Structure 1
């Protein structure tokens, strides 16, 4: 299930619990308004399972559609009597995950469209417009310079190759997405994404956001801190950060505090670590982690916005320079013809 769907499901369960409606009856109510038949069947089956006596978490796990983190949080929420709070917090978490995913998707799509349009414009200019000018000059007894002709040939080859590469990239991306949805793993694509995540500052900030968000939910729900750390580990894809969290968890198991464990990992530094220290001493760790989560979320948005803001004027300048050079190369022979006539 997508983050948006998970957010909606968690929020609906939270509303049902807040209204005092039994979970099995509530799931039946949700099934009546389900958008698709598959979703309706899933909710009805979950309703029957809960009515038969199994927990909501077990019913969710039985569908094999919910992430492990969500089912474990639901299980802990039921065991501690804080399921409504847990579901509400999870709804907010997955809503933010959805918004961040959309932001990243837009940040990738926009530059791709810009580059594609630039290459198409250049290709049309070089293959359709320039030959017309060359023919006109031939009729007037003038010719384009050898440098211009070579530049046109090279530009045509490069722009055509770029267009082909972009089309190939789009088709490969679609193929990888379809394969992933069907359960097939594309190893080279996964390794490429893993390398990007390990080195990307945006991906690292996203991981920090997930860690702090999960710990905030865990503390607010009364979950044991070691269990909260374990849940955070399961949500992190970067090996380096995950290994650091495992080291921090081992320190907690030896009797260390959450602050000591996170300090040991060196994932958080400077003022962020000071905030965690203050939260740990004042008993307001959940509020501190929530604030840090919002901060990292804003940092991701700002980084992506800055990337787009730098990219757009760069593309405009590049296009203007290239078009200007093409026009200059076209106009120079015309200037020579006008001078000879004068």
Structure 2
């Protein structure tokens, strides 16, 4: 069975669009005529799993989700019917995959399905937070407000990811440039001086001898070493991407002084923001915790939150088990306690998320400010060593001639 997108006219002359599953194009025409539609255009849909969409194999990016929710919310607030909103989104979204997915959702919603049911069937594209909140929004009749909150949440999530990426971009670029410069000097510049030094017959300084040995080794085995490093990096990435290796890696990162602070702030921001927005929507605490532990990307925190969820399921609060984890900051624990006692847990969590979001931004700025001079000194030191190693025997030769 293949999927076909169709454009047709009904008996009143209105344009109907949708998607049908059929074994051939002729079957689509037959099904449309049975519905008393006049086919205008029928085209076979390319499977979403084709090579052009490999990069979308898991979830859509946070930025795309934020734009989607904002546009959807704006149209609903303007009084446009939900089916018409979905149809508009399927044509105007900049993300090609989302356009295709919403074209399918449009066909299903027109046939009587709810929006939350259609989105839930496509959970590989949409985050579980969005699926649950859309369902809650439909049940409470506040879908526009829920989508507006989701847009704000994913916009913040996108900015948070970008800040973390930007803080690491500069050191990585400088490191790559340093490796390229050193490789160029050792394989191109340094060998030109080997003949000069060997003809001089003088005893070469230790730095020069070390440099010449490195140059000789790089010329013979440099390519193999680079391939070995790349393979080791790839295997390391595979090892820390799943199972026990991922858990041990995250546990190790939580022991590194500067990284630990940034990771705890990031976990606290995601936990507070996600749980707060879920509780505000009306989702029960236990069900909300099930979503939160998936959103928190750190495996140590995720396993700890499983214990917190078990305690909440038994009827207790979450402040005490959160404190027992020894992972979250004292301020977050106190805010959760106040929220539980006053019945305003969602409000306290959202305020806490705003605080730690600012703290995380400040920490990332300090880290970037600290790394920039260190990386420059590191690169300058390497180049200075090479230049000095070449210059020392040149000075000796000049003194000898003089």
Q: TM-score, normalised by structure 1?
A: 0.82
Choose which of 173, 189, 210 in structure 2 pairs with 1:129. 189
Q: Contact 1:85/1:221 (CA < 8 Å) preserved in 2?
A: no
Query: Alpha-carbon deviation of 1:194?
Result: 4.1
Q: Contact 2:272/2:349 (CA < 8 Å) preserved in 1?
A: yes
Choose which of 50, 54, 58 in structure 1 pairs with 2:109. 50
Q: Contact 1:137/1:143 (CA < 8 Å) preserved in 2?
A: no
Distance (Å, rounded) in 1 between the aligned partners of 2:361 and 2:216:
37
Alignment-derived partner of residue 103 in structure 1: 163
Distance (Å, rounded) in 2 between the aligned partners of 1:248 and 1:325:
54
Distance (Å, rounded) in 1 between the aligned partners of 2:367 and 2:212:
31
Choose which of 277, 286, 293 in structure 2 pairs with 1:217. 277
Q: Contact 1:24/1:46 (CA < 8 Å) preserved in 2?
A: no
Q: Contact 2:137/2:143 (CA < 8 Å) preserved in 1?
A: yes
Distance (Å, rounded) in 1 between the aligned partners of 2:74 and 2:207:
71
Alignment-derived partner of residue 181 in structure 1: none
Choose which of 356, 377, 382 in structure 2 pairs with 1:296. 356
| Secondary structure at 2:121 match in 1 | helix
Distance (Å, rounded) in 1 between the aligned partners of 2:86 and 2:147:
14
Distance (Å, rounded) in 2 between the aligned partners of 1:20 and 1:198:
50
CA distance 1:42–1:158, shift in 2 (3 Å): same
Distance (Å, rounded) in 1 between the aligned partners of 2:336 and 2:69:
28
Query: Relative CO higher for 1 or 2, CA cutoff 8 Å, sep ≥ 6?
Result: 1
CA distance 1:316–1:242, shift in 2 (3 Å): closer
Alignment-derived partner of residue 333 in structure 2: 273
Alignment-derived partner of residue 311 in structure 2: 251
Q: Contact 1:210/1:235 (CA < 8 Å) preserved in 2?
A: yes
| Secondary structure at 1:307 match in 2 | helix
Unmatched segments (≥5 aa) in structure 2: 1-59, 254-259
Query: Alpha-carbon deviation of 1:26?
Result: 0.5
Q: TM-score, normalised by structure 2?
A: 0.71
Larger Rg: 2
1:167-206 aligned at under 5 Å gives the runs: 168=231, 172=234, 189-191=241-243, 192-200=245-253, 201=260, 202-206=262-266
Query: Alpha-carbon deviation of 1:217?
Result: 0.6
Distance (Å, rounded) in 1 between the aligned partners of 2:361 and 2:249:
18
Alignment-derived partner of residue 179 in structure 1: none
Q: Contact 1:275/1:288 (CA < 8 Å) preserved in 2?
A: yes
CA distance 1:137–1:104, shift in 2 (3 Å): same
Alignment-derived partner of residue 64 in structure 2: 5
Query: Alpha-carbon deviation of 1:141?
Result: 6.2
Query: Alpha-carbon deviation of 1:187?
Result: 6.5
> Is the deviation greater in 51-60 or in 307-316?
307-316
User: Which has more strand, going by share of residues?
Assistant: 2
Query: Alpha-carbon deviation of 1:309?
Result: 2.9
Distance (Å, rounded) in 2 between the aligned partners of 1:165 and 1:99:
35
Alignment-derived partner of residue 208 in structure 2: 148
Distance (Å, rounded) in 2 between the aligned partners of 1:206 and 1:223:
23
Q: Contact 1:50/1:59 (CA < 8 Å) preserved in 2?
A: yes
Choose which of 134, 154, 158 in structure 2 pairs with 1:74. 134
CA distance 1:9–1:115, shift in 2 (3 Å): same
1:30-49 aligned at under 5 Å gives the runs: 30-35=89-94, 38-49=97-108
Query: Alpha-carbon deviation of 1:28?
Result: 0.7
Query: Alpha-carbon deviation of 1:116?
Result: 1.6
Q: Contact 1:197/1:203 (CA < 8 Å) preserved in 2?
A: no
| Secondary structure at 1:21 match in 2 | coil
Query: Alpha-carbon deviation of 1:219?
Result: 2.7
Alignment-derived partner of residue 147 in structure 2: 87
Distance (Å, rounded) in 1 between the aligned partners of 2:324 and 2:210:
60
CA distance 1:169–1:300, shift in 2 (3 Å): farther
